Structure 1
Amino acid sequence: MGTRLQGKVAVITGSSSGIGRASAEVFAEEGAHVIVNDDGGREGLGQQVADGINAQGGSAVYVQADVFKSEELKRLIDFAYEKFGKLDILMNNAYRGHTDSVLDQEEADWDRVFASSVKAVFLGSKYALPGMIKAGGGSIINTASVHGLLGGRRHSSYDAAKAAIINLSRQMAVDYGKYGIRVNSICPGRIVTEGKIDFLEKYPEEVRRQQAVYLLGRPGTMREAGLAALFLASEDSSFVTGHALVVDGGLTAQLADSVSEPLEEGLGLAGSK
């Protein structure tokens, strides 16, 4: 167990799986009291994550709350103050919804993507900020994506929402830096979450494609994304705010013509034209 977050209280939305889960585990390893959250849709999973953290010597409790519902999101934030008397770290991580091209995107799905991400970041921060201001500081971390920096095929709502999160993070950094509150976003590339493991096993060509386009030759792990969030949560980033931390194995560091050759080689297309 480390001490980088010793005694800190952290709420992480959507933390029963994926990047949120890994962040909860890493935060707890570094001494934080972690409030694990999901909407309860996968019965028992959030409690399992909290139980696993406690079994490893960490401190975690599970609170079911749906970020689509303002009153439940407020209850989640209020729980931190009621149980621990403070909230040092808020990680707005939850996301749900289907994304597609503009012509094929359904309006209801567009609204769902924005409600679960952009609006939830706005509301979660709105409810957390008064207590952080009173305490004289805090860290808000918002999960964005490399899709918030560059466009991807058939990702209209997702790309737009993640870009909004990045700039909302910057805007909040401007308003609340004077209170000692740092607001940053993380922009992961492809992270192999639980849901992607079966997909990659089913489509080996996708593995080869990722090996070709990522400069490090592979996609990232959930823990690597969690460690990036830990940096922004801890005093290691005490002079970092309004920043979009890219965690993508070099995916966005290269020009399209630079990636075309390894991509063709990785897919066995070199010399096929």
Structure 2
Amino acid sequence: MKGPEDDAGLAGKVAIVSGGGAAGDGIGNGRAAAILLARAGTRVLVADLDLKLAERTVDMIKAEGGHAAAHAGDMTKEAECKQLVDAAVDRWGRLDFLDNNIGIGSRGSVVDEKPDEYRRVMQVNVETMFLLSKHAIPAMIKTAKGGSIVNISSISALRPRGLTTYTTSKAAVIGLTQAMAVDHGRDHIRVNCICPGPMYTPMVNRGNGMSEAARAARAKASVLKIEGTGWDIGHGVRFLLSNHARYITGHVLVIDGGVTLQGPERDSAT
């Protein structure tokens, strides 16, 4: 006998995936989530600062028979966040899900970090989620009578290893997630957070690329002794957005292969 948990509730729904592009054919957290949602029948609006990166994700989805569209925008600007939400509703008539992936890194200590850089990291890593949620939540309530949001944080927020500005921003994402979960539970909107560990993604491998020795060291930091990828985060996003997680909100899901069980790893965590 089937219960409500047997239906993932993703088919026919509409999702925005911010930061849904990735370099080349690489699989970042956002691209993986977009592809996996589309495979489950969700219509996905893939947003990225670089339209070409978003379009590549859309091409990959359409090659599998999924439904998606690309959107370019700077999500540090409120007007462009509103335009993104409006674009999803205008195209498909509703909005059910928001996956907030946008983020940048920073390595300075509180002494070394320049105030302008601190403000920039907080703006990109936290304010974009605030602004997108600010416009997505009313659209979810109006068009779908509820919805679900996933914000991407980091295990650095749970096991600080320096990187003061980055760590502060990712800790703020957890606070934002849990506060929104309380504020909007009455609106039938769930808000959860994922803290990735040392995932191998195009963002991590940018520039000259990560050496095999560095990748091996990152894998060794896991109790499973394997390397995480964007797909691992994408599966977590799809689960938290689905009906399978219908009674989960304000939760911080750690996807790190057990890295945080062994204490901080300065060179391997994200």
Q: Deviations over 1:219-260 (max 9, x none)?
A: 21111110000000100100000001000000112357xx9x
| Residue type of the alignment partner of 1:140 | I
Deviation at 1:211, TM superposition (A): 2.9
Q: Does 1:136 align with 2:145?
A: yes
Residue 154 of structure 2 corresponds to 145
Residue 187 of structure 2 corresponds to 179
Residue 254 of structure 1 corresponds to 262
Map 1:151-162 to 2 at 5 A: 151-153=160-162, 155-162=163-170
Q: Are the equivalent residues in 1 in contact too, given 2:97–2:149 (CA < 8 A)?
A: yes
Deviation at 1:98, TM superposition (A): 3.3
Identity of aligned residues (%): 38
2:102 partner SS: coil
Residue 267 of structure 1 corresponds to none
**How far, CA to CA, are the matches of 1:136 and 1:77 in structure 2?**
16
Residue 39 of structure 2 corresponds to 29
**How far, CA to CA, are the matches of 2:105 and 2:16 in structure 1?**
22
| Residue type of the alignment partner of 2:36 | V
Deviation at 1:102, TM superposition (A): 1.3
**How far, CA to CA, are the matches of 2:194 and 2:8 in structure 1?**
22
Map 1:56-95 to 2 at 5 A: 56-95=64-103
Q: Are the equivalent residues in 1 in contact too, given 2:8–2:242 (CA < 8 A)?
A: no
**How far, CA to CA, are the matches of 2:19 and 2:263 in structure 1?**
33
**How far, CA to CA, are the matches of 2:8 and 2:71 in structure 1?**
24
The structure with the largest helix share of the pair is 1
Structure scoring higher RCO (CA < 8 A, sep ≥ 6) equals: 2
| Residue type of the alignment partner of 2:149 | I
Deviation at 1:200, TM superposition (A): 9.3
Deviation at 1:109, TM superposition (A): 1.4
**How far, CA to CA, are the matches of 2:65 and 2:147 in structure 1?**
25
Residue 122 of structure 1 corresponds to 130
Aligned residues: CA RMSD: 2.1
Q: Which has the larger radius of gyration?
A: 1
Map 1:89-238 to 2 at 5 A: 89-134=97-142, 135-153=144-162, 155-197=163-205, 202-238=210-246
Residue 19 of structure 2 corresponds to 14
| Residue type of the alignment partner of 1:144 | S
Q: 1:206 to 1:97 in 2, by over 3 A?
A: closer
Deviation at 1:187, TM superposition (A): 0.4
2:30 partner SS: helix
**How far, CA to CA, are the matches of 2:120 and 2:263 in structure 1?**
33
Deviation at 1:45, TM superposition (A): 2.0
Give the TM-score taking structure 1 as reference length.
Answer: 0.87
| Residue type of the alignment partner of 1:217 | K
> How many aligned residue pairs are there?
254
Q: Deviations over 1:32-75 (max 9, x none)?
A: 000011112xx622112112211110001001011121111110
Gaps of 5+ in 1: 264-273
Q: Are the equivalent residues in 1 in contact too, given 2:8–2:244 (CA < 8 A)?
A: no
Residue 3 of structure 2 corresponds to none
Q: Deviations over 1:106-147 (max 9, x none)?
A: 212111111112111111111011122233210011011101
Q: 1:13 to 1:3 in 2, by over 3 A?
A: same
Give the TM-score taking structure 2 as reference length.
Answer: 0.88
Residue 271 of structure 1 corresponds to none
**How far, CA to CA, are the matches of 2:206 and 2:56 in structure 1?**
21
Q: 1:167 to 1:24 in 2, by over 3 A?
A: same
Q: Are the equivalent residues in 1 in contact too, given 2:104–2:124 (CA < 8 A)?
A: yes
| Residue type of the alignment partner of 2:216 | R
